[in-house]
Amino acid sequence: QKEVEQNSGPLSVPEGAIASLNCTYSDRVSQSFFWYRQYSGKSPELIMSIYSNGDKEDGRFTAQLNKASQYVSLLIRDSQPSDSATYLCAVNQAGTALIFGKGTTLSVSS
Amino acid sequence: NAGVTQTPKFQVLKTGQSMTLQCAQDMNHNSMYWYRQDPGMGLRLIYYSASEGTTDKGEVPNGYNVSRLNKREFSLRLESAAPSQTSVYFCASNLNLGGGYQPQHFGDGTRLSIL
């Protein structure tokens, strides 16, 4: 069974802090990795994708990938209350379907 | 700039009734997907269509059927609804040129309650 694991949280950080969200996956042949943000009652929204080992930065967001450790993370710098949401990690094993983790709920307090 | 459009947005059914959830995308994507999302369970794939004319089962296909009507449209049918099918259903699509590098884009969801 191919699995994607995330800590369900909630992860609570104060406004302006760095939020660190983590994800591990079981299938070593996974090739592409995505982070989605989902506000309560809304649909998942893509915020980052990463395919190679290392860091990828986009504004306040940094995705980190370590294929040897089967680990992908998302850092959110200068966290804002508007970042409060559930963050979904998704992994693709070179096929067509994504496997999603159950999500980590982030709460940013002002 | 519609993206992925799902209809209806909300529906209440009685056990044993049937219904079809509709999904259409205007991004010329090759692949389309149906997921269900339940509290504490994350997103689970029901069926997908890698390209027009093909469909495949996902993780939780029992009780559902799908039709890829054309490149734009992918419908999900519940033949005899059961309370266990109460969920939020999301349709997604992506370009899917191979390798799994193209992200999926989601519709707004259908909130389905079965009494």
pLDDT tens digits, A34-77: 999 999 999 999 999 999 999 999 999 999 999 999 999 999 99
Smallest CA–CA separation between A78 and chain B, in Å?
A: 26
Q: Which positions in chain B touch A102 (Cβ < 8 Å)?
A: 40-42
Q: Is the peptide bond before B83 cis (omega within 30 degrees of 0)?
A: no
Nearest to B106 among A43, A92, A103 (CB): A43
Structural contact between residues B86 and B112, judged by C-beta atoms closer than 8 angstroms: yes
Nearest to A34 among B40, B45, B103 (CB): B103
- pLDDT confidence bin for B100, thresholds 50/70/90: confident
Q: How far, in Å, CA of B81 to CA of A58, rounded?
A: 43
> What are phi and psi for residue A83, nearest 5 degrees?
-80, -10
B12: which 2 tokens? Answer: 């209440």
Q: How far, in Å, CA of B49 to CA of B58, rounded?
A: 10
What pLDDT was estimated at residue A49? 95
Amino acid symbol at A2: K
Q: How far, in Å, CA of A54 to CA of B29, rounded?
A: 29
- pLDDT confidence bin for B97, thresholds 50/70/90: confident
Q: Is B88 exposed, middle or buried (0-12, 13-18, 19+ CB in 10 A)?
A: middle
C-alpha of A95 from chain center:
20
Amino acid symbol at A82: S
Is B100 close to A32, i.e. CB distance below 8 A? yes
Lowest mean pLDDT among A1-5, B2-6, B68-72: A1-5
What pLDDT was estimated at residue B40? 81
